[in-house]
């Protein structure tokens, strides 16, 4: 069974308190548009602040069985992509939804749904005022022939489980986008 630690974070990763485990100040993303609220590009059971210049859009055809291989992972279906390219990064913050149930169960299923995933470490944390489960793991990229870091958190809401996932082209790009991920996690609110 993967390791679970209360609030523990890998070294060099921004904590919810705004500092890295190495003691330095963590970069904080400047807030941009709210994703998931009234007038947002994505209809979600939560809202959160996206980083400045990141652009959200609803994933078209997410429920179409013909596209299931692209829009589903484990028990979750992708609903929204927040594109980092306008802010100068190669990656997305993707929001997935799953049925009602424990956030940890949905997140474990999500990670198991990644055929090249490994080294998952789960921890209990907070997302805004909600209890959350967070995972860090690696994914082997066959094209680039290297593993890269990925991260996600999940929360249970009355409308189902929400998983917010941050990938990136490679580990360096992933780490450069962590402040945007932390902004989403710390500003998350149920709707």
Mean pLDDT of the region 69-76: 94
Q: Record the pTM.
A: 0.85
Instruction: Give me the percent of the chain exceeding a pLDDT of 90.
Output: 72
pLDDT category of residue 28 using cuts at 50, 70 and 90: low
Check whether 69 has a pLDDT greater than 80.
yes
Check whether 7 has a pLDDT greater than 50.
no
pLDDT at 27: 63
Q: pLDDT, tens digit, for every residue of 127-169?
A: 999 999 999 999 998 887 899 999 999 999 999 999 999 989 9
How far the first Cα of the chain sits from its last, in Å, is: 33
Check whether 22 has a pLDDT greater than 50.
no
């Amino acid at each position: 069974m993967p390791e679970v630690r209360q609030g523990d974070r890998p070294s060099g990763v921004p904590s919810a308190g705004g500092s890295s485990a190495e003691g330095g100040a963590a970069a904080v993303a400047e807030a941009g548009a709210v994703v998931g609220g009234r007038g947002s590009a994505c209809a979600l059971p939560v809202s959160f602040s996206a980083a400045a210049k990141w652009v959200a859009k609803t994933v078209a055809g997410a429920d179409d069985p013909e596209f299931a291989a692209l829009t589903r992972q484990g028990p979750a279906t992708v609903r929204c992509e927040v594109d980092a390219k306008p802010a100068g990064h190669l990656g997305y913050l993707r929001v997935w939804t799953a049925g009602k149930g424990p956030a940890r169960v949905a997140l474990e299923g999500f990670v198991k749904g990644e055929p090249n995933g490994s080294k998952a470490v789960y921890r209990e944390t907070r997302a805004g005022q909600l209890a959350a489960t967070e995972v860090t793991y690696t994914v082997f990229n066959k094209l680039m022939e290297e593993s890269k870091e990925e991260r996600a958190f999940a929360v249970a809401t009355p409308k189902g489980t929400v998983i917010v996932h941050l990938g990136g082209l490679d580990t360096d790009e992933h780490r450069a986008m962590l402040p945007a991920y932390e902004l989403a996690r710390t500003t998350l609110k149920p709707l």
